[in-house]
C-alpha cells in the first residue's frame, strides 16, 4: 500500500508542470458543453443483454450454456474452479431473464473437507441442477 502511494505521488510530481496545462482546454463548436459531455454526466442505465431467446428453455439448452462456460474456462490460463464458473453461468442466465442460483455444498471425505459449487435453474417451477451428475446433490450437503 505504501509503495502504491509513493508511486502515485511520484507520478503526480512528474506530471506537475508548475500549473501549466498539458493541453489547452478547447470549447466545442456547439458551445461550452457539447451533447456528448452532457450525456457523459447522466447516470448509466443498466439494460440486460437480449439474445432473443425464449424466457423458458429446455434443460438441454441450459446444459449447452453450462458446457460453453466450461469450455471457456478451460481456455483460461488460470483454470478457474467451480465457484467462478458457477457465478459466470448464473450471471449470464440472469442477465437474459432466466431464474438461476449458485448452490454451495460440502462433503466429508475421510478426514478432509471437500466443497463444490453448482448452478440450479428453475425449469417448470422446479429447481434443477445444471451440468452436474445427480451424485453431486447426494454427495454434497447444501450450505
* pLDDT tens digits for range 38-67: 656 666 666 655 556 566 778 888 999 999
The tens digit of pLDDT for each residue in 4-32 reads 545 555 555 555 544 444 444 555 555 55
Q: Which three cell numbers stand for residue 131?
A: 451440468
C-alpha–C-alpha distance, residues 107 and 116, integer Å: 9
Q: Do residues 106 and 114 make contact, with C-beta atoms less than 8 angstroms apart? A: yes
Element holding 37 (H helix, E strand) = helix 35-40
What's the predicted TM-score (pTM) here? 0.60
Amino acid at each position: 500500500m505504501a509503495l502504491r502511494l509513493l508511486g502515485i505521488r511520484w507520478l503526480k510530481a512528474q506530471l506537475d508542470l508548475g500549473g501549466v496545462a498539458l493541453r489547452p482546454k478547447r470549447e466545442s463548436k456547439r458551445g461550452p458543453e457539447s451533447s456528448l459531455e452532457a450525456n457523459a454526466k447522466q447516470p448509466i442505465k443498466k439494460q440486460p443483454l437480449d439474445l432473443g431467446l425464449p424466457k423458458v428453455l429446455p434443460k438441454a439448452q441450459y446444459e449447452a450454456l453450462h458446457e460453453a462456460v466450461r469450455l471457456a474456462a478451460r481456455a483460461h490460463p488460470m483454470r478457474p474452479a467451480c465457484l467462478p464458473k458457477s457465478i459466470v453461468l448464473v450471471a449470464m442466465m440472469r442477465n437474459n431473464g432466466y431464474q438461476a442460483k449458485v448452490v454451495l455444498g460440502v462433503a466429508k471425505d475421510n478426514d478432509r473437507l471437500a466443497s463444490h459449487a453448482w448452478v440450479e435453474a428453475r425449469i417448470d417451477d422446479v429447481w434443477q441442477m445444471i451440468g452436474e451428475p445427480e451424485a453431486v446433490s447426494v454427495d454434497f450437503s447444501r450450505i
